[in-house]
Chain A
Amino acid sequence: MTVLWPITLITFKEGIRNRAVYGISLLALLLFGANFLVAGMMPRNVGKVAVDFALSTISLSGILLVLFIGINLLAKDIDRRTIYMVLARPISRSQYIIGKFFGMCLLIIVTIGLLSILAALSIGSLKALYPNYFERFSWSMILLAVLFEMLMLIVLSALSFLFASFTSTSFITLVLTVITYIIGQSLADVKALVESPQAVGITVSPLTVKTVQTAYYVFPNLSLFDIKLQAAHGLALPFSLVLWTLSYGVIYGTLAIVLASLIFRKKEFP
């Protein structure tokens, strides 16, 4: 850990100094402001829409953070050849990758934490403005939704590290991460659809069903971490589901980062 900490800290500092952070924060601020406009238009479910909007803003900002800052954190070291200076020190390549990943995790936790405070302010003000339009409201479910979102971003980030470990440019890593995010968020719904296609009046071949079912266990199921809907309606989740989802996130993230460090050990730098 003593070896990892300096890398973690320097990665975090490098990330937070990135100017893109200001851009993402500005976008988040604008969207939190827009929340007043959109939620205020609702005849009844102001609370639901306020929470939807605030949590979606956090998600969007988090994804931008992982895609445009996270990926560059690793790629920059390789592109600028500063990685040689780090690897010349008495640390292994695996320690370097893990340290970098922890730095990224810290960046996600701190940034999403700060955005959550702003989100809470936006929801809280709307609640004060429209106290009678917040049915079944629960701060604890909102907090859980934010924690799940953080975990999703950490898993996505671990996957971006995995892609960076074997690709030659950061652009390919970006493309692969975006594709994985889209597949990860929609695969559960696609699986549900191909398993009961009559819901929308389509027919699906058995081969498609099998392919989707196989893909379901290969790609990350990122939609598991999306409990914005439950948070917006203050619907409680079974404790076992929370526990299993957390386990899935931790295991999948660890798997990706272990694989990344294994590949990175064999990687040849130009």
Chain B
Amino acid sequence: MRTVLALCLLALLGFGQVLSLMQAGHERKALSSQAGATFVMPAPLFRIIALEFDGLASDVLFLKGLVFRGSTYERTERPIVKDWEWKWLYAVMDTATGIDPYFVDPYYFAAAHFAWDGGLVRETNVLLAKGMAYRNWDWMLPFFVGFNNFYFLHDNAAASDYLMRSWRIPGAPAMLASLASKLAYKDHDTENAVIFLEELLKSTEDKKIRKEYAKRLRYMQGQLTLERALARFKKRHGKMPQTINDLLDRGVLPAVPPDPYGGTYYLDGEGRVKSTSEIQLLVPASK
């Protein structure tokens, strides 16, 4: 009888602990999503507290940021990641790299997330510049800065400069030099974006980010196909077509490439290729 009672008590306590943990965990989660908690201890202070476990502290900080970003993919509300959360994530990566400036993952994380989705283009470049000062063997960091300058900030001169810096590092693809020189020609922007994105795709392993890059690449490739068809049309007929359909009707283009964002390509008043989905691709306003 005593044993049965003890077992019942144990079962009750076990159930109680699971229940209380679930409740407390749930409440805790709500607590952590309260706006404004953006403070992350600066790296010089963090290093003092971490004693001799600096490396471990930077690993834990990075993981915290990574896990948080991962959890946001499950959200349904818009914007998926709030403004203050981007700032907090940036501070986390800034401190992680402040403690261990050779740690590559926070830099790649910053390049893949902050500029594309967070709109923190200039801040990302500052973070990447810190990495470049330490990881002087890593050609990807100046490549990322070059890409950000070209794609988001539309500063082709700076982009070309960073690509050349990247190209000089052993192991960098030879095509970076030719891409850097091509950046001088504004009318090659779409082609350059395709080359940039192809290179980004090659060097990215995160499945979610790869999917996004691949989608953007397909979009840019579609745009490039249309731009080339426009050039052929102009050469053949001596004038610009009125609509995209003119390209099909005159046999310049066999089919209009699909827009992976679900939009439809059209020609704007100045004869440039646009898509109705372009609103989704709006370059985040740099802050």
Please give the residue numbers on chain A whose beta carbons come within 8 Å of chain B beta carbons, in ascending order: 38, 41-45, 48-49, 51-53, 55-56, 59, 135-136, 152, 181-182, 185-186, 189-190, 192-193, 199-200, 222-223, 226, 228-229, 232-233, 235
* Bound CA–CA A233/B53 (angstroms): 15
| CB <8 Å contact, A38 and B45 | no
A182 touching B51 in the complex, CB below 8 Å, given contacts A44-B105, A45-B103, A200-B42:
yes
Query: How many Å from the CB of B95 to the closest CB on chain A?
Result: 11
* Bound CA–CA A186/B108 (angstroms): 30
Query: How many Å from the CB of B236 to the closest CB on chain A?
Result: 49
Chain B residues with Cβ below 8 Å from A41 are 63, 66
* Bound CA–CA A182/B48 (angstroms): 9
Chain A residues with Cβ below 8 Å from B63 are 38, 41-42
Whose C-beta in chain A lies nearest to the C-beta of B54? A229
A52 touching B52 in the complex, CB below 8 Å, given contacts A135-B104, A229-B100:
no
| CB <8 Å contact, B53 and A48 | no
Mark interface residues in B105-116 (1 if CB within 8 Å of A CB, else 0).
100110000000
Query: How many Å from the CB of A205 to the closest CB on chain B?
Result: 18
Is B206 located at the chain interface by the 8 A CB criterion? yes
Chain B residues with Cβ below 8 Å from A135 are 104
20 pairs, CB–CB < 8 Å, chain A vs chain B:
A42-B63, A42-B105, A43-B205, A44-B205, A45-B103, A45-B104, A45-B105, A48-B102, A56-B55, A135-B104, A185-B51, A193-B44, A200-B42, A226-B52, A228-B55, A229-B54, A229-B55, A229-B102, A232-B100, A232-B102
Mark interface residues in B10-49 (1 if CB within 8 Å of A CB, else 0).
0000000000000000000000000000000010110111
Query: How many Å from the CB of B65 to the closest CB on chain A?
Result: 12
* Bound CA–CA A192/B46 (angstroms): 13
| CB <8 Å contact, B51 and A43 | no
| CB <8 Å contact, B105 and A52 | no
Please give the residue numbers on chain B whose beta carbons come within 8 Å of chain A beta carbons, in ascending order: 42, 44-45, 47-49, 51-56, 59, 62-63, 66, 100, 102-105, 108-109, 137, 205-206
| CB <8 Å contact, A189 and B103 | no
Query: How many Å from the CB of B119 to the closest CB on chain A?
Result: 22
Chain A residues with Cβ below 8 Å from B105 are 42-45
Chain B residues with Cβ below 8 Å from A44 are 104-105, 108, 205
Query: How many Å from the CB of B3 to the closest CB on chain A?
Result: 31
Q: Which of A186, A192, A233 contacts B51 (CB 8 A)?
A: A186
Whose C-beta in chain B lies nearest to the C-beta of A59? B52
* Bound CA–CA A181/B53 (angstroms): 13
Whose C-beta in chain A lies nearest to the C-beta of B53? A56
Chain A residues with Cβ below 8 Å from B54 are 226, 228-229
Chain A residues with Cβ below 8 Å from B137 are 136
Q: Which of A49, A53, A192 has the most CB of B within 10 A?
A: A49
Knowing that A43-B109, A52-B55, A189-B47 are A-B contacts, what are 9 other residue pairs whose CB atoms are under 8 Å apart, sorted by A's residue number? A41-B66, A43-B205, A48-B103, A59-B53, A152-B52, A189-B44, A192-B44, A193-B48, A229-B100
Q: Which 6 A-B pairs have the closest CB atoms?
A: A52-B55, A185-B51, A226-B52, A233-B102, A200-B42, A189-B48
